[in-house]
Amino acid sequence: MTTTKLNVDALVDAGNGRVTSAIYTDPAIYELEMERIFGRCWLFLAHESQIPKAGDFFNTYMGEDPIVVVRQKDGSIKAFLNQCRHRSMRVSHADSGNTRAFTCPYHGWSYGVDGALIEVPLEPRAYPQGLCKEKWGLLEVTRVETYKGLVFGNWDATAPDLRTYMGDIAWYLDGVLDRREGGTEIIGGVQKWVIDCNWKFPAEQFASDQYHALFSHASAVEVLGAKSGDANKALGSGQTARPVWETAKDAVQYGEDGHGSGFFFTEKPDANVWVDGEVSQYFRDTYSEAEARLGKVRALRLAGHNNMFPTLSWLNGTATLRVWHPRGPHQVEVWAFCIADKNAPDDVKAAFERSATRAFGPAGFLEQDDSENWAEVQKVLRGHRAKKTRLCLEMGLHGERVREDGVPGITNYIFSETAARGMYRRWADLLMSESWEEVNERTSAYKQEVLK
């Protein structure tokens, strides 16, 4: 442990804006991440709308552990390790559904929706000595808490509660979850695909990287911009097909406690140029309700990127919410959900789903730009020398400040790497700390250093 501890500290120098590439490739670091990050942080499991009735279940992951999330008879939500206690088979194989019991397909042990082992085939003959079924229920995820419809799990009984853990990222997340009465729901199924890159690349980009959009997405933006007449016709609205960074007056990046976000201040409730006309019209039609609930800044914020540490990302106005499930140091499995206001009309929900898939589905015209970058970077990092190279995270170094206009947290100009530096500092703090107390001490020290 001591060696790894020293290594981790040496690999991340957030104060000077440097990280060493091995953090994306080292198998020992990956194993430590599973224990100390995915074993201790709050991880997104599901949206409540996916499991509305008793017995409804949804299968997901916490790190690489398969997890089944189940609505209980009393309306509460529990989550279990999807692992039969007999010989480790998954007891639930469907992506989602409704059930009264989970019956293991291997030897037929059966578990109730509360995780209790209720039935063992041939029990009197196979276990003449007796089997204490109370001891062999499914392992329950230690803590499950919800935030405005989103369900999170945590294995660590000593972790801060979910709301405390979220800190100011909750303010940014409310811009999606709290626009209208009735909250949100997941539209359609989950799109899942694998990218050959470390999970931290996409998480970091959604936390901190507006900068790439100007260059990596230049061709997509050019198509929408240069053919603005056609694009507007195709999009079915009168919106101007110019990217927000060309029209916005000011912009902010937030980065604290490992979380990150970025957005531009705008004056009109205009959606991203790639969404369908029905979506743009819907945002205009519902603007006053959103403004009454969230205030002007967040109601107008229909573009921007976000990551709640470690792996929950979303894009405002685009309706994509995704989780980056780690699959070894060199792979990530993306799970993309389409999230929209529950009270939106059905044709608008369909338009949200179409728009999110077109831009950010597995073959989305913006998604492809991003995943190509991450996979190429990961290929470079297979090189022996490349793994040892220090990478530059100096953008906007020492530009951090606390704003006075109500936008909370440690902030900087949007074209900075404040959130990335904060994310890697928090990442290293978690890897190095034995307890949450120690994590929080380290994080507070870093915040003081950043703001001095």
**What DSSP state is assigned to residue 300?**
H
Angle, alpha carbons 183-186-192 (nearest 5°): 150
Longest dimension (CA), the chain: 79
278 sits near Fe ion (criterion: CB under 5 A): no
87 sits near ligand FES (criterion: CB under 6 A): yes
Is residue 318 a contact partner of residue 356, using CB atoms and an 8 Å limit?
A: yes
Q: Which of 65, 370, 417, 429 binds Fe ion (CB under 5 A)?
A: 370
CB of 103 to ligand FES, least distance (A): 9
Is residue 159 a contact partner of residue 41, using CB atoms and an 8 Å limit?
A: yes
Write the single-letter amino acid at 132.
Answer: C
Q: Which of 24, 80, 109, 337 binds ligand FES (CB under 6 A)?
A: 109
CB of 83 to ligand FES, least distance (A): 9
CA–CA gap between residue 419 and residue 258 (Å, rounded): 7
- Among ligand FES, Fe ion, none, what binds residue 370 when CB lies within 5 to 8 Å by partner kind? Fe ion
Q: Which of 173, 449, 165 is nearest to 306 (CA)?
A: 173
Q: Return the number of the residue (86 or 296) whose C-beta is nearest ligand FES.
A: 86
Q: Which of 104, 190, 299, 366 binds ligand FES (CB under 6 A)?
A: 104
Identify any residues that bridge with 150 across adjacent strands, giving them in sequence order. 47, 147
131 sits near ligand FES (criterion: CB under 6 A): no
367 sits near Fe ion (criterion: CB under 5 A): no
Q: Return the number of the residue (179 or 217) whose C-beta is nearest Fe ion.
A: 217
Of the candidate spans 103-111, 232-240, 419-427, 441-449, the one that interacts with ligand FES by CB under 6 A turns out to be 103-111
Which residues participate in catalysis according to the annotation?
Answer: 107, 209, 212, 217, 370
Tokens at 144, concatenated:
């499950």
Q: Which of 136, 173, 130 is nearest to 42 (CA)?
A: 173
Q: At what angle do helices 218-226 and 228-235 cross, to 10 degrees?
A: 90
Residue identified by tokens 């000595």 is: 129
Q: Which of 370, 178, 216, 133 is nearest to 293 (CA)?
A: 178
204 sits near Fe ion (criterion: CB under 5 A): no
209 sits near Fe ion (criterion: CB under 5 A): no
102 sits near ligand FES (criterion: CB under 6 A): no
HSE, side-chain direction, 13 A CA sphere, residue 16: 9
Q: Which of 89, 116, 118, 223 binds ligand FES (CB under 6 A)?
A: 89
What is the residue-wise DSSP string for 380-426?
A: HTTSTTGGG-EEE--TTTT--EE-SSS--SEEE-SSS-HHHHHHHHH
Of the candidate spans 107-115, 140-148, 345-353, 370-378, the one that interacts with Fe ion by CB under 5 A turns out to be 370-378
Residue environment code for 372-410, b if the CB has 16+ CB neighbours within 10 A, otherwise e: ebbbebbeebeeeeebeeeeebebbbeebeeeeeebbbb
Of the candidate spans 87-95, 126-134, 278-286, 367-375, the one that interacts with Fe ion by CB under 5 A turns out to be 367-375
- Among ligand FES, Fe ion, none, what binds residue 84 when CB lies within 5 to 8 Å by partner kind? ligand FES
Binding mask 32-71 vs ligand FES (x if CB under 6 A, - otherwise)? ----------------------------------------
Q: Which of 93, 107, 133, 180 binds ligand FES (CB under 6 A)?
A: 107
Q: Return the number of the residue (108 or 383) whose C-beta is nearest ligand FES.
A: 108
Of the candidate spans 19-27, 85-93, 195-203, 435-443, the one that interacts with ligand FES by CB under 6 A turns out to be 85-93
Binding residues vs Fe ion (CB under 5 A) = 370
Binding residues vs ligand FES (CB under 6 A) = 84, 86-87, 89, 104, 106-109
